[in-house]
Amino acid sequence: MSEIKPVFGIDLGTTYSVVARLNKNGQPEVIQNSEGDQTTPSVVLFEEGGDNVVVGKEAKNESLLNPDRVIEMIKRDMGAEGITKFIEDREYRPEVISSLILKKLAADATEATGLQVEDVVITVPAYFKEVERMATKRAGELADLNVISILEEPTAAALHYAITEGNESLQGNVMVYDLGGGTFDISVIRMSDDNIEVMATGGEHTLGGKDWDERIKQYVADEFMGKHNTDPLEDKDTNQELGIKVEDAKRKLTQKEMTRVPVNCGGTKDIIELSREKFEELTKDLLTTTITLTKETLEIAKSKGVESIDTVLLVGGSSKMPQVKEAVTSLMNIEPRLFEPDLAVAKGAAWWAAKGVIDVIARTVEEIEGLDEAQKQEQILSKAQEELGFLGGETERLQNIESKIASTHSLGVISYDDNKSEIVAVIIPSQKPLPAEKVETFGTLEEGQTMVSIKVVQGEKFSDCTEIGLGQLDFPHPLPKGAPVEVTFSLNTEGMLEIAAYQPDTNSRANFRIEHTGVMTEEEVKQAKAKLDAMQIRQ
């Protein structure tokens, strides 16, 4: 039996990232970074010249001195077309910035465990479209990591909760409210002994704790301006410093009713008081948005047979704010569980990574001839304990668990109606259980066509759909108008889309993955990798 490499789970967060793996006792363990912390700020600082970078806490702290050299919140830009960050005269794509964060996480985990970090499971928000998931995989590739799986964050949190809490928690309908530093994710998950099925998802990739911070910052700036006739936000250094201070103030208000924010701008110093009541007033609309999105997701789940919710989980660091628990409790009439909000996703990814190892073991054992089912299971349990430190029951539980998710956005192609106006022909609708495969037949538009372009889009209406890629099917000779063209969409459980086109009269075929306009191409990855290899991440 071939050697099985260790697999790590990574929560690549908007504001903070975490890496975890199963320890020798078969339990998920967050790996401390080189600074001794469990979470690493997702912040990158480029030193002068751009050949050296600093990632994490030091980058966040040094950002006060060098705000123009800092890039943060890059997760919000993953998969976005045309987004490029500039430092001096050098440009960096979001995948490159994310890869530097991943390199830091991997290097620290290797140092802490003595194990080479190569195979990883990376989590993403449930509502991430295929383009964002592919961009995340590209980031892993740039960081010299083999991304064996992309796992949805709510699924990861629910998996960790279920295994940690025991068999009784592997039952019923679970709502996961995930408010992180930069994104909001809401999912309804149906759980049973051997199945985790995502019934509905929703969220907003530009809404998170950072937006709560901005409201505090603006309030403090307005108060300072009213007293001293000076806007501290116009001074980039003061603005950057305030960003860190208001984040600290938000955390204090989780435990206290009142806090104070010191401001030093242009030699003028003052302290601005902020109460929890005022903070909640300033951010009420942000919280209301999350509740509205939650209601919409619950309605989708209800349309699919979910009549009630048995458990509500609060995850994500920003869900620790008292007003979140109050609002969710009021909506659901259920006392929500604040369940390891900063770490649950990474630990769930570690469990999923372990399941991946067990699946490899099981496939290998299946190839051994002459074993009956009992002997095969004995071999699987023995090898799993050797590789992971698991006891038999935990191995069998992970071996049997399956995760089922649904498509988060409708996918289709641009077609034409009788008036030759462009319309969206949806092939895989939103909330379709995955994996999904669907074939639709179209006809050539004009007489004598020698090819068709296949424009793939997300969305249901032409007016607001988003193009995510373009493919082409060539014919060996001109075809008459209306000649059939079969288009097959195959969407896997990671949200990755493959397309096949077939013209039966000419037996013409084309199979392709979408070359997303918002994702780096293979050639761009190769060029970026050469530059990354020359860069040093200063520890």
Q: What is the CATH number of the domain that holds 349?
A: 3.30.420.40
Quote the number of domains for the chain. Answer: 3
Do 33 and 163 reside in the same domain of the chain? yes
pTM: 0.82
180 belongs to a structural domain = no
Do 36 and 72 reside in the same domain of the chain? yes
Is the Cβ–Cβ distance between 395 and 188 less than 8 Å?
Answer: no
Q: Which of 234, 249, 281 is the last residue of a domain?
A: 281
> Which residue type, as a one-letter code, is found at position 414?
I
104 belongs to a structural domain = yes
pLDDT tens per residue, range 496-535: 788 999 999 999 998 876 656 677 877 888 888 888 887 8
Q: What is the CATH number of the domain that holds 447?
A: 2.60.34.10
DSSP assignments along 139-184, one per residue:
HHHHTT-EEEEEEEHHHHHHHHHHHHH-GGGSSEEEEEEEE-SS-E
Is the Cβ–Cβ distance between 317 and 16 less than 8 Å?
Answer: yes
Do 424 and 439 reside in the same domain of the chain? yes
Q: Which of 264, 281, 298 is the last residue of a domain?
A: 281
Does residue 435 have a cis bond before it (omega within 30 degrees)? yes
323 belongs to a structural domain = no
Q: How would you classify the pairing of strands 172-179 and 311-315? A: parallel
Please give the average per-residue pLDDT across 207-222, as a whole number.
95
Please give the average per-residue pLDDT across 392-403, as a whole number.
65
335 belongs to a structural domain = no
- Give me the half-sphere count of Cα atoms (radius 13 Å) on the Cβ side of residue 69: 20
Do 361 and 439 reside in the same domain of the chain? no
Do 352 and 482 reside in the same domain of the chain? no
182 belongs to a structural domain = no
Rounded Cα gap, residues 178 and 320, in angstroms: 10
User: Is 80 exceeded by the pLDDT of residue 410?
Assistant: yes
pLDDT tens per residue, range 106-165: 999 999 999 899 999 999 988 887 788 889 999 999 999 999 889 989 889 988 888 887
Cβ neighbours, 10 Å, residue 486: 15
* Average pLDDT of the chain, as a whole number: 87
Residue 1's pLDDT is 41
427 belongs to a structural domain = yes
Do 399 and 426 reside in the same domain of the chain? no
114 belongs to a structural domain = yes
Copy the structure tokens of residue 426: 């949806």
Cβ neighbours, 10 Å, residue 1: 12
Range of the domain at 469: 411-522
- Average the pLDDT over each of 265-269, 323-327, 463-467 and give the range with the smallest value: 463-467
Q: How would you classify the pairing of strands 497-503 and 484-491? A: antiparallel
Nearest to 135 by CA among 12, 43, 18, 16: 12
503 belongs to a structural domain = yes
Distances (CA, A) of 438 to 199, 321, 407, 482, 513: 20, 43, 13, 21, 16
Is the Cβ–Cβ distance between 40 and 16 less than 8 Å?
Answer: yes
